[in-house]
Amino acid sequence: MSTSRRSALQFGGLSLLGAAAVGVPVGNAVRAKAAGTLGKKDIPPRYTRPLPILSPLAPAGTKTLTGPGGSYSVPRYDIVEKESSARISPRFDTRMWTYNGIFPGPMISVDRGQEAVMRVRNQLPAVHPLFGYEFSTSTHLHGSASLPQYDGYANDLTPPGFYKDYVYPNAQNARTIWYHDHRVHWTANSAYTGLAAPYIIHDEFEKSVLPQGKYDVTLVVNDCILDAQGQLMLLDNSHSGLWGDIVMVNGMPWPYLEVEPRVYRFRILVASIGRSYRWTLSNGAPLHVVGTDGGLVPTTQSVTSFRHGMAERYEVLVDFRGQAGKTIELRNLSNKNNVDYDHTNKVLQFRVGSTVTSTENNTIPTTLFDTNEVMTLKRSDATKKRYFRLHKELDVWVINGETWDEVSGSNFRHVQADPGLGDVEVWTIENKGGGWFHPTHIHLVDFQILSRNGKPPMAHERGPKDVVYVGEGESVDLLMKFGPHRGRYMMHCHNLSHEDHDMMTQFSVGMPKDWTWDDNDPVAADPCKWDDLD
């Protein structure tokens, strides 16, 4: 192990909780009163404020790109990273450092095939006001097959006063994705204090079968801890995980939503740093899973509860037909290796009205046209098997015994896997135990979960994925095809405290063995520029 690794993990179980917490184990998860030092009367009320509905950001202009066929113009979305504040607890303005002054950041919604540019201007303070690190950023569009130089590579930094134009192909099938900060070693801090936002790709098929418009609701779920002045606290139990006592949806603690008695589509994104959820409806009705990270599932999976880890996205249909006048809650049953508090089982309340204004796509389809190639692949298509073990070595989180140090120490050449362009492989990812779960994310590709502990995957995860929940004692086999780009891409745990300390590595696609030049160098190919835009 290299000497530059910071040694900070000091305990081996969920025994250390937040400042004010006294833990008592209940079932699988640990249960405590409160995480932060916020006064009791300042704890946000449940179900009294409405859910903020996210509306798509309009392009600010265009940008001219040059391709093999000449130059052409694409829409340009402008994002300014800047300080702002939010009313999480009613009496306080909580300082945050956000995209365009809001949390979650502005939702971007595009149609498949419409390439676009996202211009990210860093107007943040020179150092993070809460944590003191140099406030550079790197923006990753999670779920997009972007070129390496536009993939938010951890070391491709845009310092305050600079901007970077990210080019997004949007060539993939309809899906719910998101953009968030990926700055090396400080991703958890930057995402937690505001740099996270949803992004949606629509396509014709999805529009023809699933609810649209006001019946298609994006839910960004995360949790946080506040101090006595209502300011964010990042207590991550020596980098094991952050479990907040306040659960927010679209930046609002425990909101309510008025719905019509019809079918709704909810795109649920867990943007939490360390908490996973297990959803259920208070009336016992099923959640109909129609989409996973990489788009629609081949067959609708109706379940009464399901496990949802950090960075995973699930699209569910909820049928409010026949429920007029009722109040129904989306609740969190929690999972093993989380820390729960008094109100972390509550999430969102639905108040069902009595009139339906549109019956378009007001059904629960049973089969969905399979638009993602990865779901048609078979285990026998794979030409190679690789193995990745997630564990803790002394006091550092590692993948096959390595951290990002091995990558940065090699001038970003070192890789743990080197598939060729178009190769199909099976990757086994294993978490032998120890009290942790690791939602593992592989950049660039979508994968199919072939098996979980030698058995078929859980019902809700039978669709295209880019994050896989690897719980304590679990082992998963993933099937994927590498492409469409060549280059180097990250792979890491999406418990962001683990990722930062230092459960992250990389792989390459289609790179010759002893390459000397990389057209798609993730740091050098298209770096940030000094921001003298007006």
CA distance 155 to 364: 44
Closest CB 320 distance from Cu ion, rounded Å: 33
Closest CB 41 distance from Cu ion, rounded Å: 36
> Among Cu ion, ligand C2O, none, what binds residue 267 when CB lies within 5 to 8 Å by partner kind?
none
CA distance 248 to 269: 12
Closest CB 140 distance from ligand C2O, rounded Å: 5
Closest CB 351 distance from Cu ion, rounded Å: 35
How many angstroms from the chain centroid is the CA of residue 289? 18
Our CB check for ligand C2O shows the closer of 441 and 501 to be 441
Q: Is 492 in the site for ligand C2O (CB under 6 A)?
A: yes
Cβ atoms of 223 and 272 within 8 Å: the answer is yes
Our CB check for ligand C2O shows the closer of 142 and 460 to be 142
Closest CB 100 distance from ligand C2O, rounded Å: 19
Closest CB 144 distance from ligand C2O, rounded Å: 11
Cβ atoms of 8 and 501 within 8 Å: the answer is yes
> Among Cu ion, ligand C2O, none, what binds residue 493 when CB lies within 5 to 8 Å by partner kind?
Cu ion
Binders of ligand C2O among residues 357 to 396 (CB under 6 A) are none
Closest CB 165 distance from ligand C2O, rounded Å: 20
CA distance 166 to 379: 35
Query: What's the Cα-to-Cα distance from 309 to each of 24, 224, 253, 276, rounded to whole Å?
Result: 23, 16, 19, 4
CA distance 6 to 137: 21
Three-state secondary structure call for residue 325: coil
Instruction: Return all residues near 91 (Cβ < 8 A) that are at least 6 apart.
Output: 42, 230
Query: What's the Cα-to-Cα distance from 20 to each of 14, 32, 33, 173, 343, rounded to whole Å?
Result: 15, 9, 8, 46, 15
Our CB check for ligand C2O shows the closer of 269 and 352 to be 269
Closest CB 272 distance from ligand C2O, rounded Å: 12
- Kindly state the DSSP code that residue 69 receives in the 8-state scheme: T
Q: Which stretch binds ligand C2O (CB under 6 A): 168-176, 405-413, 429-437, 490-498?
A: 490-498
Cβ atoms of 431 and 437 within 8 Å: the answer is yes
- Lookup: tokens for 120: 């990210």
Q: Is 140 in the site for ligand C2O (CB under 6 A)?
A: yes
- Cα-flanking dihedrals φ and ψ of residue 40, to 5°? -55, -45
Q: Is 196 in the site for ligand C2O (CB under 6 A)?
A: no
- Kindly state the DSSP code that residue 286 receives in the 8-state scheme: P
Residues that bind Cu ion (CB under 5 A): 142, 438, 443, 493, 495, 498
> Among Cu ion, ligand C2O, none, what binds residue 82 when CB lies within 5 to 8 Å by partner kind?
none
Our CB check for Cu ion shows the closer of 142 and 267 to be 142
CA distance 105 to 197: 4
Our CB check for Cu ion shows the closer of 177 and 290 to be 177
Q: Is 142 in the site for ligand C2O (CB under 6 A)?
A: yes
Q: Is 438 in the site for ligand C2O (CB under 6 A)?
A: no
Cβ atoms of 319 and 294 within 8 Å: the answer is no
- Judged by CB under 6 A, the residue of 63, 119, 121, 180 near ligand C2O is 180
Here's the x/- map for ligand C2O, 291-330, by CB under 6 A: it reads as --------------------x-------------------
Q: Are strands 70-86 and 447-452 parallel, antiparallel or unpaired?
A: unpaired
> Among ligand C2O, Cu ion, none, what binds residue 438 when CB lies within 5 to 8 Å by partner kind?
Cu ion
Q: Is 490 in the site for ligand C2O (CB under 6 A)?
A: yes
Closest CB 389 distance from Cu ion, rounded Å: 12
- CA torsion sign for 72, 73, 74, 80 is positive
State the residues that interact with ligand C2O by CB under 6 A.
140, 142, 180, 182, 311, 441, 443, 490, 492, 494
